[in-house]
Each structure stands twice: as structure tokens, then as C-alpha cells.
Structure 1
């Protein structure tokens, strides 16, 4: 009986500890006293989406209530209210609640970069958006393009920092820049372990903007946060990452996007399941269907056999890091040889040796050992830019 009570006590203590960490973190956007004085007399543009929350209000609403002159909104891939699907180009429009113009990032010469006309409309850009700390989650690519546009046009950027839910570790190979694409824009590992604020400082410090340009960035730090804080996001950043488990699994199973295997887009469990109509030996089944967040999901309307990961422990996945066992399992089960991987795989993983090693039958540990040098190198490289205890 004593052991039972001890177990219950330890479990409750763990839950309370996580809740205490969660409630004590103060994100950059909440510290209005630190950045409101910088906005006086300025025309403000805002780069944000549905995740830009201050308490129970959106940052845009807070700015408008405080008579800040917000003249434009830039929104990333899924739109300002988070309703667009992956890869959808968000057109210019107006935010229905406030009447503030939403300027498309696809009306300029370069996709994802504001037009010259858009840049002339504001004096200062606020960045407030929730990232998940993974190289192929491309909000950071939009951020760096905005930083470069602001550097060219001599506009100041205020970045309101938020915790990185995958910020407790660094894992995966550093991107070989010959595979640079819309899902990989900087020479960083798959999981970089940086907040948006830290990454912005690193972009400047490493001179990663074109021609070594430097953007005038002020970061409003989170308070009471370290890289080991298990922070639960109050608002999820993407319609296809519907819970914390999907965010923790994302660095491990997104590679299925470069194969015929479904990872659950078009179901209620995106990034928490995987399967294919021809996978053998599995009892679990699912059928992807068209929905607003996944209009044409892989294996649409086809019965898939595979694996349900949705019952895994969040904490176990959080601790484990990148796990290629799911990818290797599907590769070996389908036995498609050269027809399993598409060229997009190298864009996601960032190097050419991972595909080759999987095809050669190498183990997860052997593959991860290949990129361990990249991990250690990057930890040293990023150290000057860390704003929070590692």
C-alpha cells in the first residue's frame, strides 16, 4: 500500500511540476511594457498567425486596443487565422475582425518575400509566431526573408520570443545547402534547439542573410524559461499538428512526406500514424479523406494498413529525439526498393547518406552516429546566441 501511495505522490508531483513550469513562463508578447514604448509614432506591420496570443487575446487585438498604428499583417503558410492548408499561397485580404490589411507574401518578385510596395507601408515589423524548432517547419524561412527585406529597407524588427517545444535537444544532420528548398533554408540540423529569437540572432551573427546583410533586431525574451522547460503550447501552430504528441513526433515521421506512405494527413491523427494500402502484417487501419487542412492527402480515400503512434507517452517521445525506426519499418515492409524514396527526401533530411544507409540495411543507431559530429559542431556554433539556459 505504501508503494501505491508513493507512486501516486510521485505522479502527482510530476504533473504539478509541469503545470508550474507552464504557468510561470511569460512569453515576449506579454511583456508590453518592454516594447510598447518602441512603437510610438510608428506604422507597424505584424508577422503572426493564430498562435500570437497574449493571455486570452490575439496580439493584434491588444495592439489595436492600445491605439498602436497597425497598418499591415504578414501571415505564413497557413494564413493569419491558421485556416489554410500546407503549401497554400495566402492571398492579400483584410482581417475581418480589425479591418487591418493582410498583405500576401507571394505578390513580390521572390516567393515568401514582401513586395516593394508592401515594404513602403510600414516603419517597424513585429514578429510574434509560434515555431516548433524543426528545420522543415518553414515559418523561420519566412522570418529570415522578412529580416532580409527589413535590412534592405532599413526597417527595425522587434521579435517577441516564444518557447520552443522541441528546444531541449539538437538532433539530425546539418543541411547541405545544395538541398536548400522551401523546407530547408539555413545550414542547421533537423532539430536546432533554438527559439525564434535565438535563431534570429544567429542569422545575424553568422551572416546568413544575402550579402552578409544585418537586420536591426530587438528580441523580447521569455521569462522563467529554459531549454529544458516542457512547455505545452496554448495555441497550436498548424492545423496538421493538432496536439503536443504530434509536435514531438514531427521530427521523426515527417520524412514520410517524401514517400508513398501516409502519415495521417486527412485523418484525425495527422503526424501520429503511418501506413499504406500495401503494408502487410498490421491490424491498424485508416483511410485519409479530403478536408480543409489536407485537400489532397496522400492515399486519399484508400484503406491503409499501418501503425498508430497516438498512444505513445508524450514524455517518452519528448526524451527520445529523432527516431528513424518508423521510416525504416515502412521501407522494409513495402519492399519497393528505388521506388520508396522521392528526391524530396534529401530536402527534408538535408544530406544524401541517410537514404543510402537505409537502403543498405543500416540500423537507426548507425545512421544517427553519422550525424553526431554535426550535432556537436552546431551546439558549439549556436552557443553565443543562446538567450536561455540550455
Structure 2
């Protein structure tokens, strides 16, 4: 441990957080605040956060720092904005925060070079990151983390991550991102469900992609381990984005998020259960019956009918499936979604979503054309999943030196 008794980061020696089932759960924010902000006090701070950066009394990191006279040079808001007023694919713009008077910079889609410009304009010396991630490669906050870390490395700024539990647990699943398929929904070589907290991801980024050049410090969670899920946690759940309403949404999202790549099916945006409700106008009860007959572990399926208020098939009746998790420790979100895709592909109404008319969005989400072409060739769900078993095992080994918390079987 360093002189402040906090967890050191980077690609160095692993300093695991001691955890047990009886240990009270505390986030990095709560530990830093309880320590009187010792890790950052006396510095001019840049805060990368959104509405999820709260303690268990729903007090935001920025508001608490401001009240405690910690010097904040600027706040940097990702997709959906710092206070969370923007929908998917949007931001709040650069403005002055009404509550604190601090400048809030629009960091959505910012490159590392843009981050450098914003950090320089704000005159900050230490960056503090506190955002609740949900564990999927196509959730954009992990690239906010990466780009801001890269900028901090170039400017010689210290980077402090206030860690939070991964609501989808600590296991990795799914295919690897491959060259030629990177995009805003998948930019780095990680698997589809990375199974890491943002603190562990920061260590992984620093060691694997940034050459250990970031002066990184992770203030770890107390009391979390990799077999705990969002529904297990005595912590506030603040929507990380408008279509992530519950911890169960985070559990299904690494799998059913793939339905964003299907033109014929709504992924439930515009309903109260996005990513748990999947359906389309050209479907009926038979799709749900076939999926339910597979008896997949940890999950049940309900025949569902819904009418989205926006996004795909707005104001149209959709028929399909509601995904109901019954045992998160047996549930594999990506294997489940692949089985749903395989059965949906048998319907005449099925069709993949094109991305700008030149490539398929499902390929960007899954990291290659393999899943799409195998399903089109009538491969079984088992064959599709087995196709990435080797790369998943290699990734799992690669991430181990950067993990801070115990995992299933460890």
C-alpha cells in the first residue's frame, strides 16, 4: 500500500482487496471521503463523473467535495452528461453547474487530444474518475476512462479511480474484439463481458495499452467479490444511463444488448424494461416457446407484448420475450442471447441491422463477423459459443495480474 493506505494501481504488484461475506460494503468514494479527501486535498481536481458518482445517502462526489472545500478545477461529463439530462448518443454541452458554479466540460466522444485540451483549460493536476459501469464492452463509459487516462499520461497528471462493484459480477464471457471492427461501441481488445470493475479495467488499460505511463491510484471497494451482483448490493442504484433502470438490466445487457444489431427486433428501448423485453411486429409466441424449450440455466422466458414509445418500432405492437433471471450465478447473458438470436433467425421477419449501409452493426457489437455468419449458416448456439472459447480463456489469463478482488474458483 502507498503512504495513504490506499490501493496502488498500474501494472505493478497485485495488492488484492481483502473481502469476506461479512465485510461491510464501501465504495471508493466513501473510503476517500471518510479519509478526509487525503489522497487529493491540496490539489486542483478534475472530476470525470455522472449521476452515479454518489454515496449511499445519494450525495454526489462533486457536491461533497465542493462543500468540503476541495478545489475542483472542472467536471467532465460523458455520454448523457454530468447531471444525466441527455438521452442515448447525446450530451449536455459545456456549461456552468448551477449547484456548485464549477465549469462542466462536454467530454462525450472526446479524443485523447481533446481531453488534453480540456484538462489544460481547467488547470487540473489530479483526475478523479467515479462512474458506475455495467460490465459490457459496448457501454461507452469504459472508453471515457481510457481516453482520459491516455490524456493524463501525456500531461503527467495523477489519475485516481474511485472503484465501484461491477453489477454484472466478476466473470468474463463472450468473444474478443478484433481488428477492423473497432468503433464507438468497441474500441479495445477486451471480451464482450469483461468482468472487471472500473478500477481493475484502469489497471488493465495502464499495463496492456498505455505502457504503464499513467500515475494511477485505485481506491478500491471494500466488501465486494466477483460472485456478487447488483441485486445483492446494499448500495444505491442510480441509472448509469436512461435505458439502464435496474441492476437486472445490467445483468442482461452484455447479451441482449446485441439485439441493437437486429433490424427486425426492438431491444426494449422506449419501454420500462429495456434489454429485458425483446420483440418485433413480425414475431409471435412461437419464438418464445422455442427459446423456453431450451431450458437454459438461470433464466426463464415470458411471452411478452409491448409498444415502444420511441426508438425502433415506436407506437407499434411488438411480440416477443421478456427475459427473467432466476439465478444470476448460473445465468450466462451472452450464451442466452445467442440462443435467442439463433431461434429468432428462423423467423421470416428476421433481419440484421446495417451500419451506414456498408457493414453490420452486430459485427461491431460482437467484435467480428463470426457470430453473424455462423448464425446465418444455421450453426447452433453451442457451436457459436464454442467458437470463442480459446480467446476467452486467453483473455481471462491476461487480465488476472490486474484483478483486485476474488473471483469464482479463486
- The bucket for the TM-score relative to the shorter chain is 0.7 to 0.9
**8 Å Cα contact 2:116/2:155 also seen in 1:** no
What are the ranges of 5 or more consecutive residues in structure 2 without an aligned counterpart? 1-19, 287-302, 355-359
Q: Secondary structure at the match of 1:47?
A: strand
| 1:41 paired residue number | 42
Q: Secondary structure at the match of 2:38?
A: helix
Q: Deviations over 1:47-70 (max 9, x none)?
A: 111111122111111111211011
**Counterpart pick for 1:376 among 393, 397, 401:** 393
Q: 1:35 to 1:201 in 2, by over 3 A?
A: farther
| 2:309 paired residue number | 289
When you count helix as a share of all residues, which structure comes out higher?
A: 1
1:351 and 2:368 equivalent?
A: yes
Distance in 2 (alpha carbons) for counterparts of 1:166 and 1:81? 24
Distance in 2 (alpha carbons) for counterparts of 1:119 and 1:70? 13
What are the ranges of 5 or more consecutive residues in structure 1 without an aligned counterpart? 1-19, 291-296
1:361 and 2:361 equivalent?
A: no
Distance in 2 (alpha carbons) for counterparts of 1:371 and 1:63? 45
1:269 and 2:268 equivalent?
A: no
Distance in 2 (alpha carbons) for counterparts of 1:277 and 1:126? 45
Q: Secondary structure at the match of 2:193?
A: coil
1:329 and 2:343 equivalent?
A: yes
Q: Secondary structure at the match of 2:392?
A: helix
- Cα deviation, residue 201, structure 1: 0.7
| Stretch of structure 1 that moved more, 228-237 or 71-80 | 228-237
- Cα deviation, residue 258, structure 1: 1.3
| Stretch of structure 1 that moved more, 314-323 or 212-221 | 314-323
- Cα deviation, residue 317, structure 1: 7.4
TM-score (norm 1): 0.86
Distance in 1 (alpha carbons) for counterparts of 2:152 and 2:348? 48
Q: 1:380 to 1:165 in 2, by over 3 A?
A: same
- Cα deviation, residue 352, structure 1: 1.6
- Cα deviation, residue 21, structure 1: 5.4
| 1:242 paired residue number | 245
The aligned length equals 357
1:385 and 2:402 equivalent?
A: yes
Distance in 1 (alpha carbons) for counterparts of 2:113 and 2:80? 13
**8 Å Cα contact 1:124/1:155 also seen in 2:** yes
**8 Å Cα contact 2:116/2:152 also seen in 1:** no
When you count strand as a share of all residues, which structure comes out higher?
A: 2
**8 Å Cα contact 1:280/1:333 also seen in 2:** no
| 2:6 paired residue number | none
- Cα deviation, residue 128, structure 1: 0.7
1:197 and 2:183 equivalent?
A: no
| 1:15 paired residue number | none
Distance in 1 (alpha carbons) for counterparts of 2:156 and 2:189? 25
Distance in 1 (alpha carbons) for counterparts of 2:227 and 2:205? 23
**8 Å Cα contact 1:253/1:327 also seen in 2:** no
- Cα deviation, residue 41, structure 1: 2.3
**8 Å Cα contact 1:287/1:301 also seen in 2:** yes
Q: Deviations over 1:206-226 (max 9, x none)?
A: 1x13xx472111000111221
Structure 1 residues 1-390: aligned runs within 5 Å = 24-32=24-32, 33-34=34-35, 36-56=37-57, 57-105=59-107, 110=111, 113-114=114-115, 116-121=117-122, 122-206=124-208, 208-209=209-210, 212=211, 214-231=213-230, 232=233, 234-235=236-237, 236-260=239-263, 261-281=265-285, 284-290=304-310, 297-309=311-323, 312-316=324-328, 319-322=331-334, 323=336, 324-336=338-350, 339-342=351-354, 343-390=360-407
Distance in 2 (alpha carbons) for counterparts of 1:334 and 1:112? 47
- Cα deviation, residue 113, structure 1: 4.0
**8 Å Cα contact 2:112/2:150 also seen in 1:** no
CA RMSD, 1 decimal: 2.2
**8 Å Cα contact 1:161/1:219 also seen in 2:** yes
- Cα deviation, residue 229, structure 1: 2.0
| 1:8 paired residue number | none
Q: Secondary structure at the match of 2:46?
A: strand
